[in-house]
A and B are shown apart, each in its own frame.
Chain A
Amino acid sequence: MGTYIARRLAHAALTLLAVATILFVLFRLMPGDPTAQVISPALDGAAQARLKAAFGLDRPLWQQYLIYLANVATLEWGQSFTTFEPVARIVADRMVNTLLLMSAGLAMAIGFGGALGMLMAWRRGGPLDIGATLAALVFQAAPPFVTGILLLMVLSYNLDLLPSAGMLTPGSKLFGLWEIVTSADFLSHLVLPTAAITVYYLATPMLIMRDSMLEVMGSDYVEFARAKGLSPAVVMVRHAARNALLGIVTVASLLLGFAIGGQVVVETVFSWPGMGKLMVEAATRHDYPVAQATFFMLATLVVGLNLLTDLSYGWLDPRIRTGHAR
C-alpha cells in the first residue's frame, strides 16, 4: 500500500509541474502584447516603462518563469495585476463561492442520479426507465445557459418566486461565511443555479448507476440474496446498489473537476461570483498571476480528485490495494 501511494503521489506531482509550465507558456502565447492589456498602450512611454517594472514584466522570460515556479511551490501567488490584492486571497474567496454552488449542485445530481439509476435498473424497461433517460439526456444536451435562462424566466422574472442574480440581495448585512451560508437569503439565491447544475449533470451518474446495477443484478450473490427470501428493497439497496457504487465514485470525482471548469456558464447566467467568472475575467484582462493561479488550482483539484479516487478504489476494492489486479 505504501509504495502504491508513493507512486501515485509522484505521478501527481509531475503532472502538476507539467501543468504549471504549460500554463506559463500558454498565457504568453495569447495574442497581443502580454503587456498591452495590463498596461494600456495609450499611456505615456515613461508611464508604461514604470508599470512594466512594477509588475516585473521587464525581466527576461526565464526569470519570470523561475519566480513563477517558486510561487507555485509556496502557493504564494503574488499580487493581482488588476486589483493588487494577494492572489491567494482572491482565489480562496472565489473558490469558496464556487464550491458552495458546485457541491450543492453535484450532490443533488449524484444523489438523485444514483437513486433514479437504481430504481430504473430495478424496473428496467418500465415507464420510469424510459422517461427519466429521455429527460436526463435532453437536459444534458441542452447547454446549461438555456436551462438556466428558462429557469430564470419562469421562476424569477414571471412568477417572482426567486431572486435572479448574485449570491445575496444587494446591500445585505451578512458578512461571516457561516452567517451567509445559513441565511434564507443565500439559500433562496442558491436554488436556481443549483437546479440548473443538477439537471445538467444528472444524466451521467444516473446512467452509470443504472448500468452497474444491471451488471450487479445478474450476479450470483444477488440471486442468492433473493433466494434467501430477503425483501426486494433490501436486496436492491444493501446488496446490489452498494456494489454498484464504485462506478459512481469515479464519476463523481471526474464530474467535480469537469463541472468547475464548466462553471463559467452557470456563474455568468446567474451572476454568481465564483471561480469560473474569475478565470474568464483574469484571462481576458491578461491578469497572469490570477489566471495562472485559478487554472493551476483547477488542475490541482482534478489531479487531487483523481488521486483520491485511485486511493479510495484501493479502499473500496482490496484487489487493487494488494496489487492483484495489476
Chain B
Amino acid sequence: MRRRTFLQSSSALAGTAMLGGLPGGAGAQTAGGVVEKRSLITATAQLDPARPEIARLIAQACQKIGFNCEANPMDYNQGIQKVVMEHDYEMFLVILAGSPIRIDPQVFIYGMHHSGEHRRGGFNWMGYANPKLDALAVQQEGMLDLEKRKAPVFEAQQMIYDDQPGTIVAYPQLPMAHRSDKVKGLVPQLGEGIGSFWSDIGMEPIGGDGYVVTGHNADVKHLNPISANDIFEFYEIGMIYDRLMRIGPDGKPTLWAAKSVTAADDKTIDVTIRSGMKWHDGKPVTAEDVKFTFDYHLAQKAPFFLAYLRNIEAVDVTGADSVRFRLTKPFAPILSTVLAGVFLIPKHVWERIPGGGVDDALKFANENPIGSGPFKFDHWRRGQELKVSANKEHFSPPKCAGNLRVVYGSHDAMAAALEKGECHRTRYAIGASHVDQLKGKPNIVAKGYPTHGFYHLAYNNKIAPFNNPAFRQALNLVIPRQQISELVLLGYAEPGASVISPANAFWHNPAVKAPAEDTKKARDILQKAGFTWDGQGKLKYPA
C-alpha cells in the first residue's frame, strides 16, 4: 500500500513538472525540502545475476551525497513496460546490447538522445531534451562521408557525457569459450564474439565429420527473415540468407552480395549485385528479387526494419544485375541498417505468401528456408539441434561442412559439454563465472570478447531531482565503476563513459573518459548548484 501511494505521488509530481513547464530547475513544492527517496528499477537476478548487484552498489554509493535510493529488481517485462512504454519510473538500469545494427552511431546518438524519440516505445526514455544535441543528431544522420560525419558524432558524445541524462556504468565484454583442438579459424566480430557470421564461414573443424557443434542455451524461435527481431534468430538466418552488404568484423559495412554500392547523390544509391548467384533451389538471384525484397519488407511492415525502411522512397530495377535506391532524405545509416540489415528473399517463394494456408507473412513458419547464403538448411529438431550444411556453390563458401547448433539446458550444461569436447564453441556470451572456470582447462580458449554494448543507468529527466543537470553530474562522480567492473562483472568489463564504446574504435571519442570516483567533487557540484544537507546529512533541494 505504501508503495502505491509513493508511486502515485511521484507520477503526480512528474505531471506537474511537465504541465507547469518548469525548465531545468526544481519544482516549487520541492524547494528547500529533503530530496525524496528514489527507486532504481532493474531486472531480476534470474535474467542477469549482475544487474541487481550493480543496482545495489549504485544505491549504496548514492548515500555518499546524502541521496536515498533503493534498488528495485523486477520482472524484465514489467520494467520495460513502466520505463519504455509509460515513462513511469525514476531510475532504470539496463544493458543495451551491442547488436551489429548499433555499431552505427545512429541508435545511441539519435535514437537514445533526440528529443523526438521521447515517445511511447522510443529509446529516449530518459526524456532528455537538448536543442543543441538534437541539431547534432540530425546533422550526423545526413552525412554520407564517414570521416566528416565523425565530427558531429564526437561532439555529441562529449555533450551527452557532460549533460549526463543517463550514466554509462560499464562496458561489458562477451565471455565466450571454444575448443582449440576441435575448431580453428574463428573470427571474432565486434558485439558478437566468436559466434559471428565471419566465424561461421571462416572456421575450420579439426577432425570429426566437418561439422562444428555450436552451443546455445535456448532454441531458435523461427527462421522467418521478415519477422525476426532478435540477434539469436539473425545469427541462424544470416547463414542461410545473404545481405547486400554485411557488417565486417571491425564493425564497418562491407560489400557482400553487392558487387558495388555507389552514391549517385546524397539521396540516390546505386547497387550492382554479383553475377551468377543462385537460390538454394537452383533459380538465379536477380535484380527483381532485390527490388521485391525491399518492397515486400515495407509492405509487410517487417517489424525490425520498418523504422529504417521508411527512409526509402522506392527501389527501381535499373538493369539485370542492378537496382537504384531512392531515399526520402539523406540518411547515412542506410548502409548499416538497411543494406547490411535486410535479408534477400526469393520472389518466387515469398510472392505466394500470405496464401496457401498462411494468413500472415509475419506468422509464416518458413520451415524449409530457401536463401542464397553460404549455408543450406538441413534439418531442425525443435528444442535440440539446427543443422545447416555448406553451400559449396556460394561466392564465399564456408571452410567447414556445416554447423550444428545444439541447445543445452543451461550454461552449466554447455560449459560441461565444452569441457568434455562435445560442444566446440559457444554462440553467444555465457556466464562470466563459467568462463572463469573453463579458463586454463586443456584445449579450451575461454575469454571476454569486445562489444559496443553497455550497462546504462537512465534517470527520468522529467522529474526532480533528475531534472537538475548538477544532480546528475554529481551522481556520475560517485558511481563505483571500478568495483562494478571488477567485483560484479569479474573483470569482464571496463568502466563506462561515452555512449559510443571504445570497442567501437572508429566512432568512439577518446576524449570522453570514465571519471575517477570523487565524492568531494560531487558534493562541490551540488553545493554550487544550491543543494544543502540537513543535520542527518540528507540532501536538500536548493531553496
Contact = CB atoms under 8 A, between A and B. Distances in A.
Interface stretch (B144-152, B239-247, B407-415, B470-478): B407-415
A212 interface: no
Bin the interface of chain B by size: 35 or more
Interface in A34-54: 36-37, 39-48, 50-51, 54
B77 interface: yes
B85 A41 contact: yes
B543 interface: no
Contact of B362 (A54, A83, A152, A156): A54
Interface string B305-330: 01100100000000000000000000
A272 B409 CA distance: 7
B77 A31 contact: yes
Interface string A169-196: 0110001000000000000000000000
A171 B422 CA distance: 11
Contacts of B409: 165, 267-272, 277
Contacts of A152: 416
B384 A167 contact: yes
A41 B221 contact: no
A47 B122 CA distance: 13
Contacts of B211: 171
B213 interface: yes
Contacts of B302: 47
Contacts of B304: 43, 47
B277 to A, nearest CB: 28
A160 B413 CA distance: 15
A50 B420 contact: no
B417 A47 contact: no
B387 interface: yes
B530 interface: no
A16 interface: no
Nearest to A286: B77
A168 interface: yes
B78 A31 contact: yes
Contacts of B407: 166, 271, 273
Contacts of A166: 384-385, 406-408
A281 interface: yes
Given A43-B229, A277-B409, A164 B417 contact: yes
Given A41-B85, A84-B224, A94-B383, A171 B209 contact: yes
A113 interface: no
A32 B78 contact: yes
B363 interface: yes
A144 interface: no
B306 A273 contact: no
| Residue among A39, A83, A175 having the largest count of chain B Cβ atoms under 10 Å | A83
A149 B412 CA distance: 10
Contacts of A79: 363, 365
Interface string B63-80: 000000000001111111
B252 interface: no
B259 interface: no
Contacts of B363: 54-55, 79, 84
A39 B303 CA distance: 9
B416 to A, nearest CB: 6
B301 interface: yes
Contact of A170 (B74, B84, B120, B406): B406
B218 interface: yes
A48 B413 contact: no
Nearest to B211: A171
Nearest to A265: B409
Given A84-B363, A156-B420, A157-B419, A31 B381 contact: no
A267 B417 CA distance: 16
Interface string A250-289: 0000000000000000011111111001100100011000
Given A43-B121, A271-B408, A286-B77, 7 more contacts: A41-B81, A83-B365, A164-B413, A165-B408, A171-B209, A268-B413, A273-B384
7 contacts: A32-B79, A33-B80, A43-B121, A50-B306, A156-B416, A170-B385, A281-B219
Interface of B: 74-81, 84-85, 119-121, 123, 209, 211, 213, 218-219, 221-222, 224, 227, 229-230, 301-304, 306-307, 310, 360, 362-367, 379, 381-385, 387, 404, 406-410, 412-413, 416-417, 419-420, 422
Interface of A: 30-33, 36-37, 39-48, 50-51, 54-55, 79, 82-85, 90, 93-94, 97, 149, 152, 156-157, 160, 163-168, 170-171, 175, 267-274, 277-278, 281, 285-286
